[in-house]
Structure formats: C-alpha cells, structure tokens
Structure 1
Amino acid sequence: MKLNRIFFVFSAWMVLWLLIPSAPALATQGHAGIEGVWVHQFAHLFFLFSMLLLIYWLRQAGLVKRPGWRFIQYAALFFILWNLDTILVHFLDEQVRAVSVDNLGNWRIQVTAVDGYEWLATVYYLTKLDHLLCVPAMIFLMMGLRHMLKEVPPAVADKGGRQ
C-alpha cells in the first residue's frame, strides 16, 4: 500500500514536471534604473568599510594570534578585494556604460569597450571573475568559524537536561 502511494506521488510530480514549461534562470541580476545601481554601490562600500573595521578591531585586540580569528581576518581581506572588484564592474557596465556585453549564443559572449579604451574590455572580463575572490573569502570564513567552534568547551547540561 505504501509503495503504491510513493509511486503515485512520484508519477504526479513527473507529469507536472513535464507539463509546466521552464524559463531560463539567469545568473546575473540587473539593477532597475541608476537609483538601484547607486544603492547597490553604497551597499558594497558599506560592506567594504565594515570589513576594514573588523580587521582593525581584530588586530587591535590581538585576536589574530588565534587561528580562528586569523582565518576570519583573511576572509575580511578577501571580502574587501571582492567589494573593490564588484564596485569597479558595476561602475564600468552600469554607471558609465564603458563596456557592453553581447550574447553570441552557444556559451559565447563578446565584451566591447568604448573607442579608445579597448583595454577596458580585458579589465572588465577579468574583474567579472569576482568569484575568484568571493569563494576564498567564504572558505576562510568557514574555516575560521570551524576553528572557533572547536575551541568552545562543550556546554554543561543543567538538571533539566537543557544546554
């Protein structure tokens, strides 16, 4: 009886999956109007200065001598670099429109820059690889939190069994 129910639910999901058309999932998000770009840029600046302040506080308190906090400092450094990178990308393509990206199909794109500044196409392409900065930042953050979690002594349960 239970197997029949599982088969029915699976079959229903398969029919729905085949009948409901899908739409392409775009990997990037545009910012509607220049106001959205400005707010987004300020958010990057706020995040950047927050990470600078975090590094300053960590160094002032001498916490970077401990491995967990040292990894978090590295994460903050990579987040700073990532924010600088993304601020430049947003500036080039959405604020001054110095570059344009055309989809040629078959996983091919063409990056073109304004006349006289063709080198910006290469700069733009390289800075669009921002995941090369963001992913290490998240890995360092995870490693720092993992180290800090190992350093915490296990909680002692009280009489009620709660921690």
Structure 2
Amino acid sequence: MKKLIVLIGVCVLLLFAGCGKSSGDDKTDADNWQNDEDYSDYSDGDSDSPDKDSDDSDFSENSYCRNEDPEDFYEVPDVIVTFGSYEQDDNHENGMEPIEWRVLKTDGGKVLMLAEKGLEGYYWNGRIERGNVWKNSLIRTWLNDDFYNTAFSSDE
C-alpha cells in the first residue's frame, strides 16, 4: 500500500511539473538567440549597421543573413582593383604582394569588394563564452588593427 501511495505521489508531481509551460518555453537561451530583443551585443553599434527590425533592412525574419539577389553580384563584370599589400606567398624576402580585390557590387559611392586570395587564417574567437559575438571577436580586433595597419598605408 505504501508503494502505491508513493507511486501516485510521483505521478502527481510529474503531472504538475509541466503545468504553466507552453510548448516553446522549454528552449534554452542558446535556442532563442535569434529571438533576443537586445541586439546591442551582436553589433558594433555603427550607424550604418542594418537594424534587424527596420523596414529598410535586408535581414530576413529568421536569420542574420542578407537576402541579396545572386544576380546583383554580377553587376560589375570581372573588375579587379589593386589596393594595399600583404604577405601572400610566404616569401618574406621579396616583400609584401599587392592585394587584388574583386569588385562584387557598386552602389553610388560605395563598393563591395572581396580579396581574390585568402589572405590569412585566423580564429573567430578563442573563448567559449559569447564566442560568436562579432564586437568582441578576435578576428574583428585583428582586422581593425594588425591587418588594417599592415595592409594599408596612411594614404590608402
């Protein structure tokens, strides 16, 4: 009889343990990262950074990726410009090589370019905690300091 009462008590506890939860309430913070209301941690606060919730944003509702039309990337046919220099052939004796940039898109006075060669391999971040946050990433620090100051002259 005692075992039956304990079994009924456990069943009642299990039944009430799920009360008050909707089907989406069991997600962790990691599961809800896209629905976070505070996006300030995920950007560097630049005024030209698109706002996820603004009407003129190219962000879709379910991702942080731009919804660019692939045809837009063929606006400028095979234009390559040389801008800056960086060590690319692993031969430091012959100096740094000019960086070739492929022009992907032009928009008024703005140009979207991609380096023809992969210039460097670098960690996104060396920490697990908040390891995917751009504003605190190691690669952002490296790009804005070491790479920028090495690859481009003050005139550029």
TM-score clears 0.5: no
Q: Which protein has the bigger helix share?
A: 1
Q: Which protein has the bigger strand share?
A: 2
Q: Which has the higher contact order (CA 8 A, sep 6+)?
A: 1
TM-score normalized by structure 1? 0.25
TM-score normalized by structure 2? 0.26
When Rg is computed on C-alpha atoms for both structures, the one with the higher figure is 2
